[in-house]
Amino acid sequence: MNKPALSFLSLLLLSAALWFAGTLLLPKSPIQHPRLSIAISATPLSSPFILASQLGYFKQHGLEVEIKTLLGGVRCFEALVNEEVDLATSSESVVMYNAFTRDDFSIIATFVTSDNDVKLITRRGNGIKNFDDIRQRRAGVVQKSASEYFLETAMVLHGIERNAYKIDYLQPETIGDALKSGRVDLISVWEPFAHQIRRQLGEDAIVLPTRGLYRLSFNLLARRDELPIKRDLHIKLLKALDDAVDFAIREPERAKAIVADALHVPRDEIDAFWPDYHFHLTLDKTLQLDLLTQAKWAIGSGYVNQPEPPDFESFIDETALNRADREINAEEKP
């Protein structure tokens, strides 16, 4: 090989070596995970999402998740159907009310249940000691939510007709003030608002006994047309939530501390109602039965004008949860 050719080859090899060395020194780009946005309700019921975010479980399963915290499942549902987020959390009552008017959403998992999350609170000075005392009084509820359904159900179970009391529709953040000011005599509200209102009222607060009257479930909702498109992402998300549920069960003290800090709620409030929560990922037949029971109440009470309840089976999509369960079980095998 002549000298010019040899010099060119040497230069070429040197350039290649320098390029290779340079690539090793360049900062590596961070891994870009698929993104999902989720509207969650500002309540400890949303604990699995808070824990999965704070403990890094979403990233461990290959997801970037943006959490948008809103006041109540009604607002979370609105964010979902308005395409402001990819997923949302809500009680089954929000699902029931909206299923009468639209079918563009689905439940893909239930992640917590409680039979003591919604409370009926009055003031001692209002003279309400039992359900009969509510006759001719005014009650405050959050419309088309578990708050409204719970009050109506409790009244029916105690033989109080719907025309025997009046309803004021209020927002979650103003319902306590309405009770304190005397605008309403009784409120139906979920935690942590219930505990906060009781704290503010002190000895003037009376909570009517309602434990066990109603099993609230909190559910994960998706837009129906996106189910096949984002199913793999939903599976990753559910696996992360499963890790979070496991953590909440294994290490409740750490879990409560994380949730209290994230929601800016005093730790003693979390301690007060944490035992009422049953965290688990499921889509059991009880959910469909609860939806049907609530829908029949809505029809019978004249709340809706439709003669038949929606087909709630079509609102429940088990595909992602079943696949997530299979993958979790397979990973646990030695």
Return the CATH number at 320. 3.40.190.10
Are 225 and 325 in the same domain?
A: yes
Peptide bond into 48 cis (omega under 30): no
Which H or E run contains 73?
helix 73-81
What pTM was computed for the model? 0.86
Q: Which among 7, 46, 73, 16 has a CA at the least distance from the CA of 270?
A: 46
Residue 17 within a domain:
no
Count of the separate structural domains present in the chain: 2
Does residue 174 register a pLDDT over 50? Answer: yes
Residue 29 within a domain:
no
Work out the percent of the chain whose per-residue pLDDT is above 90.
82
Q: Which among 217, 190, 44 has a CA at the least distance from the CA of 120?
A: 190
Q: Which two tokens stand for residue 126?
A: 């209002």
User: For the segment 264-290, what is each residue's pLDDT rounded down to a tens digit?
Assistant: 999 999 999 899 999 999 998 899 999
Are 227 and 318 in the same domain?
A: yes
Are 321 and 201 in the same domain?
A: no
Confidence bin at 55 (pLDDT 50/70/90): very high
Are 110 and 122 in the same domain?
A: no
Residue 26 has a pLDDT of 47
Contact yes or no for 58/240 (Cβ under 8 A): yes
Does residue 221 register a pLDDT over 60? Answer: yes
User: For the segment 1-52, what is each residue's pLDDT rounded down to a tens digit?
Assistant: 555 544 545 555 555 554 555 555 545 445 557 899 999 999 999 999 999 9
Q: Which among 90, 183, 101, 110 has a CA at the least distance from the CA of 141?
A: 183
User: What are the beta bridge partners of residue 216?
Assistant: 114
Q: Which of 184, 207, 230 is the last residue of a domain?
A: 207
Which H or E run contains 112?
strand 105-114
Name 183's Cβ contacts closer than 8 Å, sequence gap at least 6. Answer: 138, 140, 168
Q: Which structural domain, as residue segments, surrounds residue 180?
A: 118-207
Sign of the alpha-carbon torsion through 273, 116, 143, 79: positive
> Out of 78-82, 190-194, 245-249, which region has the weakest mean confidence (pLDDT)?
190-194
Q: Which of 207, 224, 247 is the last residue of a domain?
A: 207
Residue 1 within a domain:
no
Residue 164 within a domain:
yes
User: For the segment 184-208, what is each residue's pLDDT rounded down to a tens digit?
Assistant: 999 999 999 999 999 999 999 999 9
Mean pLDDT of 327-333: 83
Are 234 and 322 in the same domain?
A: yes
